Amino acid sequence: MAGIRGVRWLPGGRVLGIVGVVLALLAGAGWLAKPVWQPWWYAATLCGGHLSGRELAELLPAERLQGAKDTFGTGSGPLRCGVDESDGRHFVLDVRAEMDTGEPLGPLDMEFTVPRDLRFAYPRSVPGFYGKFGPVILQECPKLGPDSEGRARRLVTKVYTHGVESDPSPESLRTAVRIANGANVETGCGADALPLPERVEPVRGVSLAGARGTMCGWLAGTRLPDSPSGERWQVVAPTDEHASITHCSLIDSGSGLPAVNLTGWYGDWTDKPFERLVSSNLQVPEGRSARDALLGQDFGRAAARCAGESANFLATSYTRNHTGSALPMSDVRGLLGAFARDQAARRGCTDLRLPGPTVHPDWDQE
């Protein structure tokens, strides 16, 4: 029998024994823990081929993988795919893309159940944020037109990376952008293709004068309260003015911490999360409801109607240890009002409702 080139055949089946020892050593070194072909195989065969093997390998360097349920290519219903750990104990990477219908419990519902500040770590070319569980991208769908209720149709892409990373990474962002672009085509959404970003963006504060050319330029023309440290204010303006979620922050340059975060959320999907936000955190007085614009101990809510849909505006202000607001709530209320009026003017909104001066107590206060 011809020998295999490079292998010397030894008596008594010793070659098999040596191979077994080598394989055992390789396994002990981790070489067999995860076949090197797995990320590229799953990138090519799952999620409509929209994943990148290199990015999948960097996101999941050690896990031995198996494919999860994949509905990409079906052309109907929510698109879902991903990879699990082969032991089946928990997901590793879960990808979903679906249309937001504006109904309660929609794809963005769980992102906004508590008054928290979103993490805008993405370039302005990416209409999204880093959510509770990973990247979230929202795209308007011009080719699909409004639904029967007159609401704009939006494609929501989410990549659940909670078990993989604790901070935004270029790999998870690029994965989300690839999936969003693929789902955009498959659903006929008609949104502009998103460019693949090279990196996540660090928080960059600019001076008040430097903010004039941004959607937060209104801060430069507003009388501002003193910062908690007494030092100059800086502005963070990470979003485009036409995004489905907009954001402005005031940073105290003395501490480097945000004193106020202001966000605008557009679409009927925001109503139920905001009602839950108010009812779960404030003692809503008799005669008022969780649908009203109200002021709490460290956040305030305003509302309007924009392009036939709801818009909700949130201001949050926390101390370093979340023991109270960084600024007096009267100042936070004034900033929320200025932000909401500016947003309403930019988008042609009507029925603007601002909170009154009463600061309502939290639920945990007697």
How far, in Å, CA of 208 to CA of 233, rounded? 7
Q: Kindly state whether residues 132 and 261 are assigned to the same domain.
A: no
In the DSSP assignment, the letter for residue 199 is S
Q: Kindly state whether residues 211 and 252 are assigned to the same domain.
A: yes
- CA nearest neighbour of 303 among 241, 350, 359, 365: 350
Q: Kindly state whether residues 104 and 135 are assigned to the same domain.
A: yes
Q: Which amino acid is at 186?
A: E
Q: Kindly state whether residues 45 and 75 are assigned to the same domain.
A: yes
**198 inside domain:** no
How far, in Å, CA of 363 to CA of 366, rounded? 8
pTM, to two decimals: 0.79
**121 inside domain:** yes
| Neighbour order of strands in the sheet with 350-353 | 233-236, 245-252, 257-266, 309-316, 299-306, 350-353
How far, in Å, CA of 177 to CA of 353, rounded? 35
Q: Kindly state whether residues 173 and 248 are assigned to the same domain.
A: no
How far, in Å, CA of 316 to CA of 314, rounded? 7
Task: Give mean pLDDT, residues 238-255.
Answer: 89
So what's the pLDDT on residue 17?
44
**129 inside domain:** yes
**266 inside domain:** yes
Q: Kindly state whether residues 209 and 180 are assigned to the same domain.
A: no
How far, in Å, CA of 100 to CA of 267, rounded? 9
Task: Give 80's strand partners.
Answer: 96
Q: Kindly state whether residues 68 and 158 are assigned to the same domain.
A: yes
**243 inside domain:** yes
- CA nearest neighbour of 362 among 164, 115, 142: 115
Q: Which amino acid is at 3?
A: G
Task: Give mean pLDDT, residues 118-128.
Answer: 81
So what's the pLDDT on residue 225?
94
Q: Is 258 helix (H, G, I), strand (E, B) or coil?
A: strand
**7 inside domain:** no
**214 inside domain:** yes
Please say which residue of 154, 187, 220 terminates a domain.
Answer: 187
Mean pLDDT, all residues of the chain: 83
Q: Kindly state whether residues 210 and 174 are assigned to the same domain.
A: no
**327 inside domain:** yes
Domain count, the chain: 2
Q: Kindly state whether residues 179 and 275 are assigned to the same domain.
A: no
End-to-end CA distance of the chain: 89
So what's the pLDDT on residue 31?
41
Domain membership of residue 135 as a residue range: 39-187
pLDDT-based confidence at residue 177 (cuts at 50, 70, 90) = very high
* Exposed / middle / buried, residue 57 (Cβ in 10 Å: 0-12, 13-18, 19+): middle
Residue written as token pair 């309007």: 304
Q: Kindly state whether residues 342 and 209 are assigned to the same domain.
A: yes
Spacing of C-alpha 34 from chain mean position: 30
* Exposed / middle / buried, residue 350 (Cβ in 10 Å: 0-12, 13-18, 19+): exposed
So what's the pLDDT on residue 185?
94
Please say which residue of 156, 187, 218 terminates a domain.
Answer: 187
pLDDT digits (tens, 9 = 90+) for 261-293: 999 988 888 888 888 888 888 888 888 988 999
pLDDT at 13 over 50: no
Q: Kindly state whether residues 177 and 210 are assigned to the same domain.
A: no
DSSP string of 106-161, one letter each residue:
-TTGGGGSS----B--S-TTS-EEE-SSSEEEEEE-TTT---TTSPPPEEEEEEE-
Q: Kindly state whether residues 52 and 157 are assigned to the same domain.
A: yes
What is the C-alpha radius of gyration for the chain, rounded to an integer number of angstroms?
A: 25
Q: Is 236 helix (H, G, I), strand (E, B) or coil?
A: strand
**Selection from 27-36, 96-105, 124-133, 220-229 with the highest mean pLDDT:** 220-229
Please say which residue of 157, 187, 217 terminates a domain.
Answer: 187
In the DSSP assignment, the letter for residue 290 is T
CA trace torsion 299, 282, 270, 122 (10° rounding):
30
Q: Are 362 and 282 in contact (CB under 8 A)?
A: yes
